[in-house]
Amino acid sequence: MSLGKQSQPHSQSSSPMLFSLQGSLLTLAIFTLLSFTYFSLNSVHFSSSPTIHISADTNEQFSDIYHSPEVFRLNFAEMEAKFKVYIYPDGDPKTYYQTPRKLTGKYASEGYFFQNIRESRFRTDDPDQAHLFFIPISCHKMRGKNTTYDEMTVIVRDYVESLIFKYPYWNRTLGADHFFVTCHDVGVRATEGFPLLVKNSIRVVCSPSYDVGFIPHKDVALPQVLQPFALPAGGNDVENRTTLGFWAGHRNSKIRVILARVWENDTELYILNNRINRAEGNLLYQKKFYNTKFCICPGGSQVNSARITDSIHYGCIPVILSNYYDLPFNDILDWRKFAVILTEKDVYNLKQILKDIPYSEFLTLHKNLVKVQQHFKWNSPPVKYDAFHMVMYDLWLRHHVIKY
């Protein structure tokens, strides 16, 4: 019987009973939904809290720098509890495999990752428990042995093909749950000679440029960090920052050439067409970060630059001048909360853009910059929320899109 017929006069005697039944069912449905929601929230609360250990102060600290602080908090806790990575054991550590070349210099990020992954809770010796598989080949070590690019490509291809032939794991997903790490640009050139690896697996690279095949939803931007830092971290020192903007470096890209040509004689922007001469004083280049508000970060021979993490470490707000740079942890951190993001065409109006930033906004940017410093530092052994854990979190996010 339809609802319309129930409202007719001859059906009025049955209406109260029917509406009473409908009301009871509706009440039961609402009660069930509320109960499910209550127990679900309790489950999330009690399962997450013992793992993450975040205080109210820490929550406040994260609130201004993440796209979604609560999602990050919960997902990070789940990653720490569950994420497992299998490292292929093949390859002689004395050649190009398994161990980093060194932990110093502007390509130290690759070395730290190789070392950190072995020291961390994420490593498993059981491939059946692994979410992802790490291909431990170091193109940086090849460079140290004066290997040509053609030879590098052959070495990479032969190694990966040997893993595919020996183990069943690559073929389950055609490599979608595999990843490799390279920070030096030679690693990008060497691996690009093997399209099967580049197109299928997750690339963790320091040169994540949209115009050279980097795929943001698949690949991971590795921060290029010049460690050890020459001086302590800066921050909470805005009264000492009297210089508007600073850049010193080589003219090894078009944007750097324009930057130097337009602004090197300016009185408010301190722009040098080369690194500061060491003969002028010890660590003058690093010390300049301490008294500058905004540090200009144009791309060099590659889109990336260690100057960005230098700026973050020394408390100088980075000004990104790039058209194609997928910034490290861009899907986690809101870079516009602690940096100035510009395109290359903005170089001609650079000084006015920086001067137009209100002082209150500058203070907020600087405050948030201090908060993210921990995310751009490598440690051995790794420390929670450091660069290693942020890279692992990016990998954890990507493993969710893989099905086999």
Same domain? For 388 and 247 the reply is: no
Q: What distance in Å separates the CA atoms of residue 152 and residue 202, rounded to the nearest whole number? A: 19
Look at residues 239, 210, 385 and name the one whose alpha carbon lies nearest to residue 315.
Answer: 239
11 inside domain? no
Is the residue at 341 inside a domain?
yes
- Co-location of 395 and 352 in the same domain: no
CA dihedral 18, 21, 27, 30 (to 10 degrees): -80
Measured CA to CA in angstroms, residue 288 lies from 203, 245, 247, 306, 311 at distances of 34, 10, 9, 16, 10
**Count of domains forming the chain:** 2
Q: Is residue 139 part of a domain?
A: yes
390 and 338, same domain (yes or no)? no
| pLDDT value at residue 205 | 87
Identify whether residues 114 and 260 lie together within a single domain.
Answer: no
Radius of gyration of the chain (CA): 27
pLDDT in tens, 121-164: 999 999 999 999 999 988 777 776 777 888 888 888 999 999 99
Q: Tell whether 371 and 388 lie within a shared domain.
A: no
Q: Are residues 362 and 328 in the same domain?
A: yes
Q: Which residues contact 270 (CB under 8 A, 6 or more apart)?
A: 243, 245, 246, 247, 248, 288, 292
Residue 184, token pair as written in the block = 């030096």
Domain of 342: which CATH number?
A: 3.40.50.2000
Inform me whether the pLDDT recorded for 265 exceeds 50: yes
The DSSP code for 65 is T
142 located within any domain: yes
Q: Is the pTM of this model over 0.95?
A: no
Q: Does some domain include residue 40? A: no
Quick one: average pLDDT of 72-100? 87
285 and 194, same domain (yes or no): no
Strands 220-221, 178-182: pairing kind: unpaired
- Same domain for 372 and 386: no
On whether both 202 and 111 belong to a single domain, the answer is: yes
Could you tell me the CA-to-CA distances from 52 to 42, 45, 70, 261 in Å, in that order? 15, 10, 11, 50
Better-predicted residue by pLDDT, 314 or 192: 314
215-230 pLDDT tens trace: 888 899 889 888 888 8
Please determine, for residue 316, whether its predicted confidence score (pLDDT) is greater than 90: yes
Residues 78, 218: one domain?
Answer: yes
Predicted confidence at residue 137, as pLDDT, reads: 86
pLDDT at 213 over 80: no
Q: Is 38 inside a domain boundary?
A: no
Q: Is residue 280 pLDDT above 70, yes or no?
A: no
- Total Cβ atoms within 10 A of residue 387: 26
pLDDT tens digits along 15-49 = 444 344 445 444 544 444 444 334 333 433 433 33
Residues 199 and 307 in one domain: no
56 pLDDT higher than 60: no
Amino acid 33: pLDDT: 41
| 1 falls within a domain | no
Strand, helix or coil for residue 322: coil
Note the pLDDT of residue 294.
97
For residue 272, pLDDT beyond 90: no
Residue 46 lies in a domain: no
Same domain? For 151 and 280 the reply is no
Angle 151-157-159 from CA coordinates, rounded to 5°:
100
Measured between alpha carbons, how far is residue 385 from residues 77, 374, 393 in Å?
11, 7, 9
Q: Which domain holds residue 315?
A: 238-376
Please provide the average confidence, as pLDDT, over all residues in the chain: 81
